[in-house]
Amino acid sequence: MLCLAITNSLATTRHCNFPAIFNFGDSNSDTGGLSAAFGQAGPPHGESYFHHPAGRYCDGRLIIDFLAKNLGVPYLNAYLDAVGSNFSHGANFATAGSTIRPQNTTLHQFGGFSPFSLDVQFNQFNDFQRRSKIFQSKGGVYETLLPKAEYFSQALYTFDIGQNDLAAGYFHNMSIDQVKAYVPDVLAQFKNIIKYIYDHGGRSFWVHNTGPVGCLPYMIELFPSKAHRMDKAGCVASYNEVAQFFNHELKAAVFELRKKLPLAAITYVDVYSLKYSLISQAKKHGFEEPLRACCGHGGKYNYNVHIGCGAKIKVHGKEVLIGKPCKDPSVWVNWDGVHYTQAANKWIFDQIVNGSFSDPPIPLNMACHKQL
């Protein structure tokens, strides 16, 4: 009855006109942030669509790319990318390896994560908003490269982050219970950032929950499941149970935010269910390889932490590519042991765009409207 009421209401409601998107997240939506800061993610990343590396840890496009295209907005440039970027229709603050809660590690150590945690991404956004208004007033080229002042309140604010917060605990040899114990603190920090953006004029929020981390080759390989049970899909059940716990608490946090932020339209999107369905029923959805990495080297899952996608070794003084991609990424779910292929990202987006996996169940182009 609720879905029917919302559907009937939406039938008489105009589509949202989002002139810009501001994205926050990790590698699931990074379009060049980490590459700009620490060096480009080299080939074969980008081969299926861009035909060259494009800052994405994927063979092509990410969910955020399909989202932008659907809304008629150009693909988002990374805020950190100084070369050739145009921010007139938004900016991407996501970087691969980012967490909600700051980590006390360096990027290049084992278990290290991006220094651009969600609080840093917000600080970047804050500075970007403030300086955009100043430089827009100068006119000239700035008018074509920066968003108009009113875009900040009319934009869609997208979030896909949290997966690395869970993985961080496992890298620090924490137990399942210890990881679950710090989830409330992680989400408290997430809620603060949503409130800060709301205070800066943000009104429309599109929040993805976290995916089934227990189905990612790197998690299965790096943390052998001797102490954990595997489910029928071949995933580590305990890791996925923690992800589901995180998502349950995230959804509760979204409900709480709706009460505290009366002018906000906050859509919670269940990408976990879709990703798990894609992996556990790959053939049903047109895919052949659900768990193995398309691009990598060796082992049961074609994943090696020391020989990643695109890795080369020297043989008789010549570089030889051994982290090779598969012949047809379009039938593989996983790209490099950590990230999804373009085909998988496209399939996931096609399921969420109409609101079927959202709370409230409204389509993407209606995400500026509050829940009834």
Give catalytic residue positions: 27, 336, 339
- Is there a contact between 105 and 169 (Cβ–Cβ < 8 Å)? no
Residue 32 phi, psi (nearest 5): 140, 5
Helix then strand then coil, in percent of the chain rounded to 5, is 40, 15, 45
- For the chain, the straight-line distance linking the first and the last C-alpha, in angstroms and rounded, comes to 13
Burial 315-347 (b: 16+ CB within 10 A, else e): eeeeeeeebebbeebbbbbbbbbbbbbbbbbbb
DSSP, collapsed to helix, strand or coil, labels residue 200 as coil
Residue 72 burial class via C-beta count within 10 angstroms: exposed 0-12, middle 13-18, buried 19 and up: exposed
Cβ neighbors of 92 (< 8 A, separation 6 or more) are 22, 23, 29, 30, 31, 32, 33, 64, 76, 77, 78, 79
Q: Which two tokens stand for residue 322?
A: 């051994």
SS3 assignment for 72-121: CCCCCCECCCCCCCCCCCEEECCCCCCCCCCCCCCCCCCCCCCCCCHHHH
- Is there a contact between 191 and 257 (Cβ–Cβ < 8 Å)? yes
Instruction: Give the position of tokens 């989830």.
Output: 183
Going through the chain in order, the beta strands assigned E by DSSP cover 21-25, 90-92, 156-160, 204-208, 265-269, 289-293, 312-315, 318-321, 332-334, 358-359
Number of helices and strands in the chain (H, E): 12, 10
Q: Which two tokens stand for residue 132?
A: 């955009």
Q: How far apart are CA 322 and CA 308, in angstroms?
A: 9
